[in-house]
Structure formats: structure tokens, C-alpha cells
Amino acid sequence: MAAVVNPALVQYCGLPCVEARLPGGESVRVALQGAQVLSWVAQGRERLYLSPRAQLDGHSAIRGGVPLCFPQFNERGPLPKHGFARNLTWSLMAAGQPPADGTSVTLEFALQDDAATRAIWPHGFELRFTVRLQPGGLQLALAVMNTGAQSLSFTGALHTYLAVQAIEQVRLAGLGGQPESDAVRDVHGTGAEIIAPSGEFDRVYEAAATPLLLSDGASRLQISQSTSLAHTVVWNPGAARCSQLADMPPDGYRQMLCVEAANVFAPVDVQPGARWQGWQELRVA
């Protein structure tokens, strides 16, 4: 990433992006497509996984970073998988300048309904996505405003792909005792005290009240989310599933783990004129 102190519009592999860097070297890159965070460097290490085979053509879903899934999670409804927000071009609304002490920088992006979105999802809305970069930390907040005359309901997620040194070394703590839904085996259970993903791993947990701790043998990351996001999704495709994904290298599963803040099962209702917000915070521990 270029040495950008103040937020700047740049091209990354031909994709329009916003980049910002704190004086201490912390950096973030956000694509205007989907307001998708593609890179977060903290303490000299890339913390997000972006597939080297990701499609960066300006309209296809981008594999990695932090896709914004709205207004539908996965294929749980009639819309395209994970909704449409991640494929559309957002506007940069504000880019705060880092203070002299380098404590933070904030970027804000917006997306509004138009004829194309109303043709498949007949609701008036405005989305705001705020990215706040701090030394050792990144906070992501999605706000949904109902600008229409009728209530709207949605599911979705901050679909965060975390970079790990090796999936075999990954341990995730903090979901012990939480209700667990295993999509691979189609069974329900209870979260283990320490999760060590093996093979294809796709589970939805009732979100914990306290932060999670992810370790990968090289570093530790604390992961928090707002109570307005009721679920935590943990996903890794495993070797067999990864080999079937055209936008992932065959061994890509070894360098990533998704830990998502989501609303999966029960839709969120937003009344006309009302506003909902959910956030996820990542911090080097």
C-alpha cells in the first residue's frame, strides 16, 4: 500500500478505492464497490485475507476482506446470494483527517435505493458504513435507515475474512456454551470452549456477550460485536470445498478464517423513518 497519510482515492488493480494511513503505519483500503474493506494492516501485519484470485472487475462479488451482506444473508431468501449491497458502487461521504497524535481516522460511505434495487427489493433505504482505523484496531459500523413509507426487514452480515498464519494453528475462544447450528452436518449443538476449525467448517452461533479471542500461532486478535447483531458465523471452506471455488487458490483455506457479525435467522425490522446500526470491532491483543 502506498504511503498515504490523509485519505485518498486510488486505483487498486483497476478498482477505485480509498486508502488511509496513520502516522504510525496502520493502514486501511476500502473499495467503492460494496464499501468493501480489502486491507487492514496493523502492527506491520496484514490482518484481512483477500484471495489472490478475487474478481476485481467492479461488479462481481469480491472474495475476501469484509463484504457487506445486505439485505439477505447467504441464500436464505429470494435475492441473489448475500444480497446486492456488496456488488454496487457506494459514495464516499466523509473522510476525516488523522489528528496530530495519530489516534484515528474515519471513513464514511453511503448507498441509497434506486430503480434497480427497488425492482428486486421494493424498499426505500439509505445505508451508511463507517470505517474507523486506530492504532491496533479497526471498527466497522453499518447503519440502515428506512426512507420509505413501509417497514422493511433484512438479514445480513459483516462477512469478515481474517488472515491467519495457518488454519491448523487457529484457536477461537469465547463461544463456549453458545447455541450452535452446524450447516455442514445439519445439526444443532453447543459451542466448544476452544474452536479449532478442521475440514469444511460452517457454523452459526448465538453471539457471546464478551469479546472473542482468535490466535493463530503468531498473534492474537480480539473480536467484538454489537448486541444488535445476534449471531456470530465461523466459516472455513476446507480443502475439498476450497478446490471448487474458482476465486480461491486450492490452498487458500489455510490462510483465512471468517468470523462474521450477523443476523442470520430472525430478520431485523426497521420502521419508516427509523434507523438500525450494528458494528464489529477488531483489535490486536
SS3 261: strand
Give how far Cα 182 sits from Cα of 149, 196, 205, 235, Å. 38, 14, 9, 10
- Pseudo-torsion of CA 278, 176, 254, 58, nearest 10°? -10
What whole-number distance in Å separates Cα of residue 94 and Cα of residue 90?
12
Q: For residue 238, give the H/E element and its range.
A: helix 238-242
Residues in the chain: 285
Closest among 5, 4, 279, 256 to 144, alpha carbons compared:
279
Place of cell 445480513: 156
Question: What nine digits make up the cell of 88?
Answer: 454496487
N-term to C-term CA, the chain: 24
- Phi, psi of 258, deg, nearest 5: -85, 125
Question: Which residue numbers are catalytic?
Answer: 159, 260
One-letter amino acid for residue 62 of the chain: I
At residue 132's C-alpha, the angle toward residues 126 and 134, to 5°, is 175
Contact 250, 284 (CB under 8 A): no
Task: Evaluate the omega torsion of the peptide bond into residue 179 and state whether it is cis, within 30 degrees of 0.
Answer: no
